[in-house]
Structure 1
């Protein structure tokens, strides 16, 4: 909860006017948006008001009518059935029953909004003489996601190629926002990263000048990255999904001719052009899984330790000069099905893991509605283990009704990376 500042502009002086006691000093409270605030109202005599009446109102402002904030009369109030409370205050205003014995009629307004700012009055009309207290509430705006005209949508983040083998180029893009948003790349720890100058395109339309902004950054560290769009003029800030970037893996992939690269390149050719020979050619190198088109398949992968707080990643073989396709990624509870961005389009909403099996080291994934295009070599890797481990799974998808030989399968031992 944010801090609340209460100040009074003068000492409490009283004047009896028309039978009502008025405080000349006005209480002023400052609070930040979305926090809770207490508006004080208490009798100096501290007499019990459990069976009294007190009424909180917000006087009319400009073209708006008076607002009914909170009403209490001998135990009957807005929160237990009494009608008449203004709609915007329903379910948001509360008082302390036990404090009534000490003459305390203060109220708490939860989740304050900008529209809550203004003058509030607390009145005891049946006291002799009647008493009135006045509070001015100031609500300061904060940066947050706002659904208003011109607010930037969630930034789109993508991984682009980079001429340097040990680096990746990340791109953040926002379209149609106004006023012009500021874009900022951050790493997984929330640290601001230095990027190139943004590319800005202006489009003048009837309602406003809209802005398309692109911000690119070169990264050499394997991490999760996100992009933040901020529009200070309207107090709007929104963050992209996190994207996983691993320049080290790209460099390993581009080397290609060494060890695993040569094996994968050969297997890709086998899968796409001689898929029936994959079981014979690679019998001693991969674990082979066969499935029928349109069905569901489990790709197995496991280690001998709890991986609930660890990291594993599934990718699929790629064509020449391409990066592997992102099938599934899990990182300490975050994954493609709840918050992480970057999954290849053809695998979205088709891949899931088995959460209850993670404690037993099982990182297997389930792919639904299998297609012929899913045929290929899949890599399951654990980059944070010591040593890191990698497994290869060969998937063959048969057409419905086909009758083909099944030469069996053998399992590859984990490879140290």
Structure 2
């Protein structure tokens, strides 16, 4: 008998739920065995314990209480995967999945990475716009790519810093202030990839808006000046009417 887990680190977004795979092969019921999930680097390493046909919370690490659980209905199929709810940055690390039965035991290591939602910043520089993506407090070390509307990879300036076990990466591109869609991709080759489009909308000279698509799939206006343009248009319209002249904005 052996335990099967993921070949690469499992990554999860902070606040979301994540599943750490672990299963017995060949498959057989583990409902009568002892299943332990441990974090060896913690003073209280007990993440979740299933013993004597039920969950055991007596010695569980308090930081995992009401957040860690097994798929109890799947134990009969040898599935010992751990579900960790409301992921925290402190959850990142190495986990041990252990199966104990009749005096023998088998275990595997599963690495969990916790990541936070990247932030995007925009700054006008002459006729161009500088777009900066910041992915802070990630584990393990993230990779970043920028692509244009056609999917072509754009070269960018990047900076990676480390604080304890966590990494932060900042990537900046400078683009023309014309209507276009740019996408930043975090961990393009990993089993979890964050992919967010950034829309640039030039309005009139000296004004632009940036719209980012966030994880909730709801568009968020990061920097937009429609209110200011409305006021400018209204004032300019009044002046033009008084003078009896027509006018138009230059783009």
TM-score normalised to structure 2 length: 0.52
Matches within 5 A, 1:85-96: 85-86=60-61, 87-88=63-64, 90-96=66-72
Can you give the 5+ residue segments of structure 1 that lack an aligned partner in the other structure? 1-11, 13-25, 125-129, 147-152, 163-168, 201-209, 247-314, 352-366, 368-373, 379-392, 397-417
Contact 2:71–2:81 (CA under 8 A) maintained in structure 1: yes
SS, match of residue 85 in structure 1? coil
CA distance in 1, matches of 2:237, 2:223: 23
2:122 to 157, 161, 176: 157
Contact 1:157–1:172 (CA under 8 A) maintained in structure 2: yes
CA distance in 1, matches of 2:60, 2:81: 15
Contact 1:33–1:141 (CA under 8 A) maintained in structure 2: yes
CA distance in 2, matches of 1:212, 1:107: 38
Matches within 5 A, 1:137-216: 137-139=109-111, 144-145=115-116, 154-162=119-127, 169-173=128-132, 185-188=146-149, 190-193=151-154, 198=157, 215-216=173-174
Once the 2 structures are TM-superposed, how far is the Cα of residue 136 of structure 1 from its aligned partner?
Answer: 0.8
Instruction: Tell me what 1:282 maps to.
Output: none
Contact 1:154–1:174 (CA under 8 A) maintained in structure 2: yes
2:220 to 329, 339, 344: 339
Give aligned pairs, total. Answer: 206
Can you give the 5+ residue segments of structure 2 that lack an aligned partner in the other structure? 13-17, 160-167, 240-251
Q: Which structure: greater strand fraction?
A: 2
CA distance in 2, matches of 1:170, 1:241: 15
Instruction: Tell me what 2:107 maps to.
Output: 135
Instruction: Tell me what 2:244 maps to.
Output: none
Q: CA RMSD in A?
A: 5.4
Matches within 5 A, 1:399-410: none
Instruction: Tell me what 2:247 maps to.
Output: none
The change in CA–CA distance for 1:65 and 1:48 in structure 2 (over 3 A counts) is closer
Contact 2:68–2:83 (CA under 8 A) maintained in structure 1: yes
Instruction: Tell me what 2:55 maps to.
Output: 77
Q: In the TM superposition, what whole-angstrom CA distance separates every residue of 1:325-381 from its partner, at most 9, and x where no partner exists?
A: 45x89999xxxx93244412x839xx9xxxxxxxxxxxxxxx8xxxxxx25349xxx
The change in CA–CA distance for 1:341 and 1:97 in structure 2 (over 3 A counts) is closer
Contact 1:37–1:109 (CA under 8 A) maintained in structure 2: yes
Contact 1:156–1:174 (CA under 8 A) maintained in structure 2: yes
CA distance in 1, matches of 2:44, 2:100: 18
Quick check: 1:376 aligned with 2:238?
Answer: no
Q: Which has the higher contact order (CA 8 A, sep 6+)?
A: 2
Contact 1:375–1:395 (CA under 8 A) maintained in structure 2: no
Contact 2:38–2:45 (CA under 8 A) maintained in structure 1: yes
Matches within 5 A, 1:227-306: 228=184, 242-246=198-202
CA distance in 2, matches of 1:330, 1:214: 17
The change in CA–CA distance for 1:122 and 1:329 in structure 2 (over 3 A counts) is closer
Contact 1:224–1:245 (CA under 8 A) maintained in structure 2: no
Contact 1:28–1:138 (CA under 8 A) maintained in structure 2: no
TM-score normalised to structure 1 length: 0.35
